[in-house]
Amino acid sequence: MKSFDAIVIGAGQAGPFLAARMVEKGMKVALIERKFLGGTCVNAGCMPTKTLVASARAAHVARNGATYGVNIPGVIAIDMKVVRARAETVTMNARNGLIGWFAGMDGMTVIYGHARFEDPKTVSVNGETLTAPRIFLNVGARPVIPDLPGINDIDYLTSTSIIDLDTLPRHLAVIGGSYIGLEFAQMYRRFGAEVSVIEHGPKLASREDEDISDAIADVLRSEGIDIHTGASEIAFSKSSDGITVATDSARIDASHVLIATGRKPNTDDLGLDAAGVITDGRGFITVDDKLATNVDGIWALGDCNGHGAFTHTSYNDFEIAAANLLDSDDRKLSSRILAYALYIDPPLGRVGITEKQARASGHKILISTRPMSRVGRANERGETKGFMKVIADAETKKILGAAILGIEGDEVIHGIIDAMNAGTTYPALQWSVPIHPTVSELIPTLLGDLKPV
């Protein structure tokens, strides 16, 4: 049996950085990864997909160049092999960077293999047994494949496998109208494929307010994407030239099907029962406000604990654990203000609670909205789709939440994220003097228009 000061299972966006901090403190750490360093973000999420989004935007801008007085003769052609290779290069550079970083650390042992608990202090991997007083789980999540009629009779894609596609689909059917599915839908439409989005629920991006969801749908429809919501029945069958996707209201002749119906944690094959670690009904590991599980000496970080499915929330889990365990600090999960983005174009930046949640909470609220068509920067760039929205508490003057669907919305939202984290009231932020011409300069104007509901 090999002994360590700590064992980290999973090399996503929390575990490796925590392992590195512990090594800096002179600890002996084992980092176990069953596949690739970097987790979902580096290998099948943020980095490759946003690289693909950038290629798709380049194609979109080129096709619309004449609007700006830039005439490009001939057809704008897409070389999917080059597109895929570019995404793979970005992934490999990041992955290899991590490999080199860890190789230079005395005290770090990187083990590739499938780890399972033998007891609360012991894990087995590759036929060896390892023990440590502290064990951290950062095992991530994977795509959910729903049990739909005919799904096992077709070759479907997931958000992981579609990244390896180096040919252009004739018609891509996206099953699931949430964040991952919508990003791939717009991306492949801009590459030149016909695209249909099929969503079981009544609207796209179901987490958002109705007006945001409607605006997202308008953006996608304006680019020629067919959207089918309220699809209560979805079934698949092979056809002579592809796959037939049948719903209760439509029949789609697709060449490829992307299943984008959510993700589930990679916790079902870790031997958690042997350690006594509790999970909820969906398989997420139950943690307290400091990310500790019910078993002393075991923590769960990142997607597998159900408190955020984003790279930045996973990294923040590392920060919380490191601060509490290594720096004698007192940081809590409940102090985190959730923010995220949807990377369609224009993007959606979101922070805090929605209008629907604010109304349900009983707050006396103020709301302000402003169309992007009234933003100078958006007009100058010729990108006026979307709108800004902010919700505030009428009594405390604190900002409760905001959504910016529009040009640079994923960047502009950070002004509000920072204000909320600092506890700044909206009147104080209203009197800031932002730079012109930017999208952010409209935040004080937006706040100045807050009205009671």
Q: 391-410 pLDDT, tens per residue?
A: 999 999 999 999 999 999 99
Q: What is the pTM of this model?
A: 0.96
The structure tokens listed for 76 are 């704008």
CB 128 within 8 A of CB 2: yes
Q: Provide CB contacts within 8 A for 60, sequence distance 6+.
A: 190, 345
Biggest CA pair distance of the chain: 70
Give pLDDT, residue 363: 83
In three-state secondary structure terms, 82 is: helix
What proportions of the chain, in percent to the nearest 5, are helix, strand and coil? 35, 25, 40
User: Domain-by-domain residue ranges, the chain?
Assistant: 2-142+264-335, 151-261, 339-452
Q: What angle do CA 275, 314, 90 make, to 5 degrees?
A: 120
Does pLDDT of 446 surpass 90?
yes
Give pLDDT, residue 419: 97
Pick the CATH number of 2-142+264-335 from 3.30.450.30, 3.30.43.10, 3.50.50.60, 3.40.50.1370: 3.50.50.60
Residue with tokens 């080199």: 100
User: Which active-site residues does the annotation give?
Assistant: 436
For 169-186, the pLDDT digits (tens) are 999 999 999 999 999 999
Give pLDDT, residue 371: 98
In three-state secondary structure terms, 202 is: coil
Over residues 159-170, the mean pLDDT reads: 97
Give pLDDT, residue 171: 98
Residue 198 φ/ψ, nearest 5 degrees? -115, 120
Report the percentage of the chain scoring pLDDT > 70: 100
The structure tokens listed for 385 are 């789709």
Question: 151-261 architecture in CATH?
Answer: 3-Layer(bba) Sandwich (3.50)
Alpha-carbon distance of 388 to 369, in angstroms, equals: 5
* Torsion angle in degrees (nearest 10) through CA of 408, 178, 84, 37: 90
For 245-287, the pLDDT digits (tens) are 999 989 999 999 999 999 999 999 999 999 999 999 999 999 9
- Please indicate whether the domains covering 2-142+264-335 and 151-261 agree at the CATH topology level: yes
Give pLDDT, residue 362: 86
Over residues 339-364, the mean pLDDT reads: 96
For 17-63, the pLDDT digits (tens) are 999 999 999 999 999 999 999 999 999 999 999 999 999 999 999 99
Pick the CATH number of 339-452 from 3.30.460.10, 3.40.50.10330, 3.30.390.30, 1.10.3720.10: 3.30.390.30
* Torsion angle in degrees (nearest 10) through CA of 24, 26, 27, 30: 60
Give pLDDT, residue 393: 97
